[in-house]
A and B are shown apart, each in its own frame.
Chain A
Amino acid sequence: MSVSGVIARQFDRATLIAFGCVIVLLLIGAMVEPAFLSPKYLIQQLHTASFLGVVASGVMLVILLGHIDLSIPWTIGVGGMMATGATGFLGPELGITLAVPFGVLCGALIGTVNGLGVAYLRAPAMIFTLGMNAVAQGLMVYHTGGFAPQDRATEFMRELAVGHLIPGVPNPLLLWIILGAAIVFVLNRTVLGRRIYAVGNQERSVFLSGVDTRKVILICFIFSGACAALTGVLLAGWANRSYQAMGDPYLLPTIAAIILGGTNVLGGRGKYVGTIAGVILITILQSMLSVVQPQRYFAQLGVDIPADTFRQVVFGAVIIGMLLIYGRQQLVR
């Protein structure tokens, strides 16, 4: 198949709609605030988007399998807090050098438990991962409650989150690009990728063709945990410290970005380019709400409404609205 054919195949209807919405949002934003279309602002948006992009990359694979990972909020927290607190476990020297791998490894461990529960115990993913989220939360609360852990980000983490290895391209964005390229390659060009789509379509048939489907599920959950933890590491570097609820605002945006990008919630269908579109769309939407500040107009009318209300309501409503346009399921017949 020609290269252009491969590229064209990546853009399905949902992806195009999502990218279309991004452009419309940017144009609306530009009308309110001309600086919206400046390269500086756009790069800044991509910088913010890359945090969401990394976590969404992992969760997307899990959703492609027809499962879901609801443990991401506290896996992000684990990633950030374990990376900054690595000195407490590995000693002052190793803790600094291995901070990032240690954080990611802890996330991968959570993913491993998720994967074992879902693939081998056959527990429903949404409940099992929700339980794992509570377990991770409990462990982290205990971690901060027992003794005062180090919560400062290391120099390297800081560099990873805000530095520019290539001038003009923030490091998290570079990381997201590399990660994304790897996932596109795996999904389209490797046996594992084929198996992920196949399990999402019908696990039974894949099992009958001699594939150990449980291993495929396990790998995806481990990857999802590692990606979430990596986001936690990046966020900790970005804020220069880690804190408990750092992953809480990420659950809905992550899943929404993937679904808005056209990935089928029931698994088996979805392109990574769609997830990229969804992540950018969600990021721009969030940024729009903080730039436009609708609460100001209401305050002029004498109605005092907190800014968070708009963020939550608009966010939820937009997601439902867009899904109603193109995320509907087949009728049972």
Chain B
Amino acid sequence: MNVSSEPEGLVNRQKYFGWVGRLSAAQRGVLIAMLIFAAMFFVYGWKQAAGLTPNMLNTAANKGALLALVAMAQTLPVITRGLDLSVGATFVLSNCLASTIVVGGPMATTFGIFGVLLLGLACGAVNGVIIVYGRLQPLIATLATSAVYFGIALAVRPQPGGEVNFELADFMTRSTFAVPHTVLLLLAVVLFIWIPYRRSVLGRAAFAIGSSEQAAYMSGIPINRAKMLAYTLSGLLASIGGILLTALTYSGAAKMSIANEYTLNSIGAVVIGGTSLFGGVGSAVGSIFGAFVMRTVGDLLIVFDINPVLQPLFVGVVLLVAVSLGSLRILRIKNRLDIYR
């Protein structure tokens, strides 16, 4: 939109905001999410009587990391202007499978982890095939596959329970020099999955598709492969989250409410993290901070003595406000016609 005025706008932005003005939209989103998180966490630590103990940091990091992984999984399809409503179900399915096969000695555990990751890849790939080659709407396709994945999760674990390799669970719940291991896991995912993806041809193609699929097609960008990769990696990230959930809770449970909650919160986290729901702009790093913001909202409710049953209400309100803030762009649009599609 308003492509012609962009250079002038950029010059103005640089003049008035310095280096912040030179950041891309995604980078600004990450920065804003970081600031919101820092402010919220500061209030949280300040209101806490005991102050910020490493133990507390660890708990907060663990809760945030689970959502962060699912939110990163949601980010990839959203960048292509899609949506994945099955991330929550993939997360729960991985949790159920991990509580069954990530057990025993080091060898068996390693194979188990690979098994769960493969399952995540498969779930994502199925979504990708249906959306790319079946040409169905992402929303409908992933809503339907989420029912299927959840059904399989029920078959894997009809009753909550199961177990997980003790060393893995112990390692994931501890911290080194006050740095929770879950944060290290997030760092590893960013370094070894997100950054390589972002810099790959197919990763850049995903951004191009999100900006304009038509233009991307005209430029000879491999649309199908890029979308396939986005959905497949999304499944992988959700399954990493599922393994982490198993390690943290030491059990598996096929609950629809968990799947729904994570799907909803992941979208909230993605929006707060500065990823555009209209595609083409975004960053998984922003989603991590978005996830921590969503989780800190819950913690703040407890600190401020607000009834915890109100949490879904606040999550919903945060989501509504975050999405509505995007509508500020309407005020900047000069031609009223551009508001309408």
Which A residues form the contact surface with B (CB < 8 A)? 66, 68, 117, 121-124, 126-128, 130-139, 141-142, 145, 202-204, 207-208, 213, 248, 251-252, 255-256, 259, 265-266, 304-306, 308-313, 315-317, 319-320, 323-324, 327-333
- Within 303-319 of B, Cβ neighbours of A (below 8 Å) are at 307, 309-317, 319
Q: Choose among A123, A131, A136, A207 the residue with the greatest number of B CB atoms under 10 Å from its CB.
A: A131
CB distance from B70 to the nearest CB of A (A): 15
Known: A130-B264, A132-B316. A323 touches B136 (CB 8 A): yes
CB distance from A65 to the nearest CB of B (A): 11
Q: Is B339 an interface residue, CB under 8 A from the partner?
A: yes
Residues of B within 8 A of A135 (CB): 312-313, 316-317, 320
Determine, out of B114-122, B140-148, B186-194, the stretch whose residues face the partner at the interface.
B140-148
Closest residue of chain A to B131, judged by CB?
A329
Q: C-beta contact mask, B108-137 vs A, less than 8 Å → 1, else 0?
A: 000000000000000000000010001111
Known: A128-B320, A132-B316. A328 touches B134 (CB 8 A): yes
The answer for the CA separation of A87 and B337 in the assembled complex, in Å, is 47
Residues of B within 8 A of A329 (CB): 135-137
The answer for the CA separation of A124 and B271 in the assembled complex, in Å, is 11
| 13 pairs, CB–CB < 8 Å, chain A vs chain B | A117-B324, A127-B319, A128-B320, A130-B264, A137-B313, A207-B340, A252-B147, A265-B140, A309-B152, A309-B155, A320-B148, A323-B140, A329-B137
Find out whether the CB atom of B140 lies under 8 angstroms from the CB atom of A315: no
Q: Is B256 an interface residue, CB under 8 A from the partner?
A: yes
Closest residue of chain A to B209, judged by CB?
A332
Closest residue of chain A to B318, judged by CB?
A131
The answer for the CA separation of A145 and B310 in the assembled complex, in Å, is 9
Residues of A within 8 A of B278 (CB): 124
Find out whether the CB atom of A142 lies under 8 angstroms from the CB atom of B144: no
Find out whether the CB atom of B271 lies under 8 angstroms from the CB atom of A121: no
Residues of A within 8 A of B316 (CB): 131-138
Residues of B within 8 A of A204 (CB): 337, 340-341
Closest residue of chain B to A259, judged by CB?
B140
Residues of A within 8 A of B9 (CB): none
Find out whether the CB atom of B256 lies under 8 angstroms from the CB atom of A248: yes
Q: List 15 additional A-B contacts (Cβ < 8 Å) besides A123-B323, A134-B264, A145-B307.
A: A128-B324, A139-B313, A207-B340, A252-B143, A265-B137, A306-B155, A311-B151, A313-B148, A313-B152, A316-B144, A316-B147, A320-B130, A328-B135, A329-B136, A332-B217
Residues of A within 8 A of B56 (CB): none
The answer for the CA separation of A312 and B307 in the assembled complex, in Å, is 34
Closest residue of chain A to B314, judged by CB?
A138
Q: Tell me if B's interface is mostly helix, strand, loop or mixed.
A: helix
The answer for the CA separation of A328 and B298 in the assembled complex, in Å, is 41
Find out whether the CB atom of B140 lies under 8 angstroms from the CB atom of A255: yes
Known: A126-B83, A127-B319, A265-B140. A207 touches B145 (CB 8 A): no
Residues of A within 8 A of B314 (CB): 138
Closest residue of chain B to A245, judged by CB?
B257
CB distance from B210 to the nearest CB of A (A): 13
Known: A127-B323, A135-B317, A329-B135. A252 touches B144 (CB 8 A): yes
- The listed residue (B147, B158, B267, B330) touching A313 by CB distance below 8 A is B147
Residues of B within 8 A of A311 (CB): 151
CB distance from A260 to the nearest CB of B (A): 10
Residues of A within 8 A of B155 (CB): 305-306, 309
Residues of B within 8 A of A203 (CB): 340-341
The answer for the CA separation of A134 and B341 in the assembled complex, in Å, is 27
CB distance from B209 to the nearest CB of A (A): 9
Find out whether the CB atom of A265 lies under 8 angstroms from the CB atom of B134: no
Residues of A within 8 A of B271 (CB): 127
Q: Is B35 an interface residue, CB under 8 A from the partner?
A: no
In the A-B complex, the 8 residue pairs with the smallest Cβ-Cβ separation, listed nearest first, are: A138-B313, A312-B151, A134-B316, A131-B319, A135-B316, A316-B147, A316-B148, A313-B151
CB distance from B107 to the nearest CB of A (A): 28
Known: A134-B313, A142-B313, A203-B340. A312 touches B135 (CB 8 A): no
Closest residue of chain A to B317, judged by CB?
A135
Residues of B within 8 A of A305 (CB): 155, 158
The answer for the CA separation of A266 and B23 in the assembled complex, in Å, is 34
Residues of B within 8 A of A332 (CB): 213-214, 217, 223
Residues of A within 8 A of B144 (CB): 252, 256, 315-317, 319-320, 323
Known: A134-B312, A319-B144, A320-B136. A312 touches B154 (CB 8 A): yes
Residues of B within 8 A of A248 (CB): 256
Q: Is B139 an interface residue, CB under 8 A from the partner?
A: yes
Residues of B within 8 A of A122 (CB): 327, 330, 339
Closest residue of chain A to B263, judged by CB?
A130
The answer for the CA separation of A267 and B136 in the assembled complex, in Å, is 14
Residues of A within 8 A of B307 (CB): 142, 145
Q: Is B289 an interface residue, CB under 8 A from the partner?
A: no
CB distance from A144 to the nearest CB of B (A): 9
Find out whether the CB atom of B143 lies under 8 angstroms from the CB atom of A309: no
Find out whether the CB atom of B323 lies under 8 angstroms from the CB atom of A124: yes
Residues of B within 8 A of A309 (CB): 151-152, 154-155
Residues of B within 8 A of A331 (CB): 135
The answer for the CA separation of A333 and B216 in the assembled complex, in Å, is 10
Find out whether the CB atom of A251 lies under 8 angstroms from the CB atom of B143: yes
Residues of B within 8 A of A133 (CB): 264, 316
Residues of A within 8 A of B327 (CB): 121-123
- Within 222-257 of B, Cβ neighbours of A (below 8 Å) are at 223, 256
CB distance from B329 to the nearest CB of A (A): 8
Known: A124-B278, A126-B83, A316-B148. A134 touches B319 (CB 8 A): yes
